[in-house]
Amino acid sequence: MTVHNFPRSISSVKAPPIKTQGIKTKLVPFIFQSILWNGDGRWIEPFAGSAVVAFNAAPKRALISDTNRHIIAFYNSVQNGTLTPASVREHLTREGNMLREQDEVYYYEVRKRFNASADPHDFLFLSRSCFNGVMRFNKKGGFNVPFCRKPDRFRQALVTKIVNQVTWIANVIRNGEWEFKTQDWRETLSEATQSDFLYVDPPYVGRHTDYFNQWSEEDAAALATSLKTSPAGFAYSMWYENKYRKNAHFDEHFEGYPLALKSHFYHVGSTEDLRNEMQEALVVSRNHAVAAGPLTPTATVVEQSDLFDSAELADV
């Protein structure tokens, strides 16, 4: 397996099969070009989400964790072979046909079934047929996102696209030494060593709550302290500024740290007027930063959505 040292360029970013809000697909090149790491240790992500950055990095060794047990169970099922490209095609084709015949009634039947059984195949089905690809759970841990109102969602082209995404991540996992754990970020950071590199993408403090747990200012402050005292290098993604305000978290916790900025459009709504330009920030530990200080924001990236890439929107 070829291990890519950083910084490096990437010509084509691939999207994973699971969708989450705030997915970093469009920002992967920016992240990879901003960090220095020789790839000797493990690539560690304590807030896995979709794990789009990890899969595109494709390190030889990785520790991927999240408190969302369904995300980790999904990737563990890919790793142990209980969820395969063939099983995904069969499941999405069958369930998609049922959805087409019964409309939203069937979506809610699958959602109820998933909340009782936590089947990874149903998790994938819900991720790709719920409203705007949002991942959200109620206080009892039940998936509660409504239907996207597209009963013909799983046409053959989209099913094939998802199958190809599963094939891709299965190959990345199979070609390396990857470990997936359901655990708190503190436990994950405690396992980091000097040769490891931490990519940290927590819920955006001051903007959203987590898709599975609450995330407070106190949590963000504790994470900042832990990163600065970790033996591993780190890159920390966070929103920096929009037309309304600047994120005070940086001045408070990362003053003097190398900071890379990228301007892009953040979209969490269904209409054009809800799309606002913002600056995405990447704070990097001092010995792992390509630049020694703040960079001039790079060219604006116009995104159709943080949740779906433009090609998938065409599939809808």
In contact, 267 and 304? CB cutoff 8 Å: yes
pLDDT in tens, 42-89: 999 999 999 999 999 999 999 999 999 999 999 999 999 999 999 999
Of 304, 302, 284, 308, the C-alpha closest to 294 is 284
Check residue 22 and give its pLDDT: 77
pLDDT in tens, 276-287: 677 888 999 999
Amino acid code (one letter) for 179: E
Res. 269: pLDDT tops 90? no
127's CB contacts (< 8 A; 6+ apart) are 17, 18, 19, 133, 135
Check residue 116 and give its pLDDT: 98
How does residue 103 score in pLDDT terms, banded at 50, 70 and 90? very high
CATH number for 25-79+179-315: choose from 3.40.50.150, 3.90.1170.40, 3.90.1150.10, 3.30.1490.100. 3.40.50.150
Check residue 210 and give its pLDDT: 41
What's the pTM value of the predicted model, to 2 decimals? 0.86
Of 250, 213, 205, 261, the C-alpha closest to 228 is 250
CA-based R_g, the chain, Å? 19
pLDDT in tens, 117-141: 999 999 999 999 999 888 999 989 9
Which residues make up the CATH 3.40.50.150 domain(s) of the chain?
25-79+179-315
Average pLDDT, the chain: 86
In contact, 99 and 77? CB cutoff 8 Å: no
pLDDT in tens, 140-183: 999 999 999 999 999 999 999 999 999 999 999 999 999 999 99
pLDDT in tens, 188-207: 999 999 999 999 999 866 44
Task: Please classify residue 7 by burial: count the beta carbons closer than 10 Å to its beta carbon, then call 0-12 exposed, 13-18 middle and 19+ buried.
Answer: middle
Other Cβ atoms less than 10 A from the Cβ of 177: the count is: 12
User: If you count them, how many residues does the chain have?
Assistant: 316
Amino acid code (one letter) for 158: L
* Domain 92-165 in this protein, CATH class: mainly alpha
